[in-house]
Structure 1
Amino acid sequence: MQRQNVAPQCIPLDIRSDLDISIDIIVPIYNEAEVIPLLLTRLDEVFSPENMRRHHLQQARYLFVDDGSRDDSAALLKELGGRQNPMQLIVFTRNFGHQAAISAGIAFSDADVTAIIDADLQDPPELLLDMVALWRRGAETVYGQRATRQGSPVKKFCYAVFYRLYRFLSSVEVPLDSGDFGLMGRPVVGALNMLPERLRFGRGLRAWVGYDTARLEYHRPERAQGETKYTFRKLYHLATEGIASMSIMPLRLSQLAALVLFVLSLAMLAAGFPGWLSDRSWMLPVMLFTNSIVLFGLYVLGSYLGRMYLEVKGRPTFIVREVVSREPR
């Protein structure tokens, strides 16, 4: 076994219950100036000195990753951050995407446990302490599973379809209705940082690396303030990237469709297909059907080819313009 494939060792279960640990909270930021004051207040309430002592947390650090925001998000964090707990602000040179921001936070994290939470407060920060408790019971990965969620019926339907399709196509077992909200031990973070790919789908890779997992169900509310940054276009790209990154099943389905068409063609010839030439009403639906299969195969192939093209170029997942640290005043 090569040395670079060895992740950090797990903390023994028998000493976890009363062990004083550190936690990093990764928060991707993109044009979230409206919600940042409330977000910092909620985080400080969760990781108050009383809660820190009660849950045996020696340090809680906020890792904010500014993904090329065009508003005052970075300036607000520089001004308000570090009031009660340490803060580190990682600022990108431009917008590299939500998954890139998560990857940057994971790369910068060095705590005993690392949490990921969205800035819009749809993932309640209060649940992070429950996740720490599940980690102490032996789980190296704790993921939040949405029992219910607020939002438009169309988006809720699309999310439900995607997660079930993604689970069906994935080569590893992935939890349903689970986003990036969760907590990971140091071995999981180390394993993720060892992975070489640059186009990353965090929730899929979190399942791929293995380790013991635990589920925490919760009810996902509406955004606290501001507007969602995930348009249908971005959600579509996220879904296709997630499937292409974790499964080759679509390629196999294309192969199966080609084989089925070939068998059908032989069956039609054996059934006296030449005699049908006098009636051409069948030609249009057959051509539409076969062309649809061909175009589907090209679509699937293009998704994987485009991903290979981007990976082969070897460009970094993100570029950091500056890193700002703030300590409690």
Structure 2
Amino acid sequence: MSSQKVPVIGLIVPCKNEEPVLPETARTMKSKIDSLVARGMVNSASRIYFIDDGSTDGTWEIICQLAESDSCFQGVKLTRNFGHQFAVYAGLMHAEGDALISIDADLQDDINAIDEMVGCFLKGDEVVYGVRGDRHSDKKLKRWTAALHYWLSGRLGVRTVPHHADFRLLSRQAVTLLGQFRETNLYLRGVVPLLGLPSSQVHYARGPRMAGESKYGFADMFGLSVDGLTSFSILPLRVISLLGLFVFLVSMVFGVWALVAYIVGLTTPLDGWAPTGIPIYLLGGLQILSIGVVGEYIGKTYMEVKSRPTYLIEKTVSKASD
């Protein structure tokens, strides 16, 4: 990017049933864009893109009203609920701009951190991660499970930025490279670091939700965590294989011990656990081992070979040019 060019940025805002918070979110984001334009940090052609991820309330109607009233707002309606990661991905692939910033509609992520993100971009960073330096507004369970997830990800070799969710800036080059990833189990927090582009971090304090209830419950977070771990590491499958091998070897040891005990007269063939326990553990260990080995191959290919679309756009809305 030329140092003389004022960049056009796009804010990508995934939405699912955000009717209570959306009007205030739109006002806050529009004020932020206007402030950046007034200071000469971004171009007046910058836009805010609301991605409706299968909402069942009045979210899409509000997006349409916003888009029809102000050219700064644009709306993209997906055909159904594809999930948060794919809603963000759809917005990144659809939006225009020299840099795109993804941020949740609830504005728990500090919107003022965008100023520093844009500043890092102007200095040459292609990726800028928003990192939650203070999570006091989150419940203890969420903080503990998040810490466990990042710890486990590191142990499994998954490259992630601790305490970074999906609040990030991506340059046009980064978005173009990201478009080459067509993974069915999309985990952007793990994919973006794989781009290998110059990056930096902006730390901020996570605040309370502006209105409404979170649409991302424990089950969703658990599913995302599992997708992230299984998409970037086959170590869990190897652990299963090793567990099966361990059980099999232990069974063999006990089998030999039982045989020796019988030969020296310490037990009889039908005495105790040996006649039933050893075959059960032996066959069980072999089965787990076999499933683990087969899973090494199936787990890598099953979800990807179907090549289904990662998202489908039903309609878009924007204000007609004057």
State the TM-score, normalizing by the size of structure 2. 0.85
**Residue segments in structure 2 that go unaligned for 5+ positions in a row:** 262-266
Checking the alignment, whether the CA contact within 8 Å between 1:40 and 1:81 is kept in structure 2 is no
Aligned partner of 2:7 in structure 1 is 21
- Corresponding position: 1:155 with 2:163: no
Checking the alignment, whether the CA contact within 8 Å between 1:117 and 1:180 is kept in structure 2 is yes
SS at match of 1:146: strand
**Residue segments in structure 1 that go unaligned for 5+ positions in a row:** 1-10
Aligned partner of 2:213 in structure 1 is 227
User: Using the alignment, how far apart are the partners of 1:301 and 1:219 within structure 2?
Assistant: 45
- Corresponding position: 1:52 with 2:52: no
User: Using the alignment, how far apart are the partners of 1:279 and 1:123 within structure 2?
Assistant: 62
Checking the alignment, whether the CA contact within 8 Å between 1:62 and 1:85 is kept in structure 2 is no
Q: Deviations 1:33-82 (Å, cap 9, x if unpaired)?
A: 1001110111011111x421424311321111101111111111111236
Checking the alignment, whether the CA contact within 8 Å between 1:257 and 1:293 is kept in structure 2 is no
Checking the alignment, whether the CA contact within 8 Å between 2:52 and 2:59 is kept in structure 1 is yes
* Equivalent residue letter for 1:143: Y
Report the count of equivalent residues: 313
User: Using the alignment, how far apart are the partners of 1:37 and 1:303 within structure 2?
Assistant: 48
For residues 304 and 38 of structure 1, do their structure 2 counterparts lie closer, same or farther at Cα, with a shift above 3 Å needed? farther
Aligned partner of 2:264 in structure 1 is none
User: Using the alignment, how far apart are the partners of 1:217 and 1:296 within structure 2?
Assistant: 45
Matches within 5 A, 1:124-273: 124-149=110-135, 150-171=137-158, 173-268=159-254
SS at match of 2:57: coil
For residues 56 and 148 of structure 1, do their structure 2 counterparts lie closer, same or farther at Cα, with a shift above 3 Å needed? closer
Checking the alignment, whether the CA contact within 8 Å between 1:141 and 1:211 is kept in structure 2 is yes
Structure whose alpha-carbon radius of gyration is higher: 2
User: Using the alignment, how far apart are the partners of 2:127 and 2:289 within structure 1?
Assistant: 36
Aligned partner of 1:103 in structure 2 is 89
* Equivalent residue letter for 2:206: R
Aligned partner of 1:3 in structure 2 is none
Checking the alignment, whether the CA contact within 8 Å between 1:114 and 1:185 is kept in structure 2 is yes
How far 1:280 sits from its partner (Å)? 3.7
User: Using the alignment, how far apart are the partners of 1:57 and 1:136 within structure 2?
Assistant: 10
Checking the alignment, whether the CA contact within 8 Å between 1:114 and 1:184 is kept in structure 2 is yes
The percent identity for this pair of structures is: 30
For residues 54 and 316 of structure 1, do their structure 2 counterparts lie closer, same or farther at Cα, with a shift above 3 Å needed? same
User: Using the alignment, how far apart are the partners of 2:286 and 2:104 within structure 1?
Assistant: 39
Checking the alignment, whether the CA contact within 8 Å between 1:60 and 1:85 is kept in structure 2 is no
How far 1:164 sits from its partner (Å)? 1.5
Aligned partner of 1:324 in structure 2 is 317
For residues 266 and 291 of structure 1, do their structure 2 counterparts lie closer, same or farther at Cα, with a shift above 3 Å needed? closer
State the TM-score, normalizing by the size of structure 1. 0.83
User: Using the alignment, how far apart are the partners of 1:326 and 1:38 within structure 2?
Assistant: 20
How far 1:245 sits from its partner (Å)? 1.4
For residues 270 and 306 of structure 1, do their structure 2 counterparts lie closer, same or farther at Cα, with a shift above 3 Å needed? closer
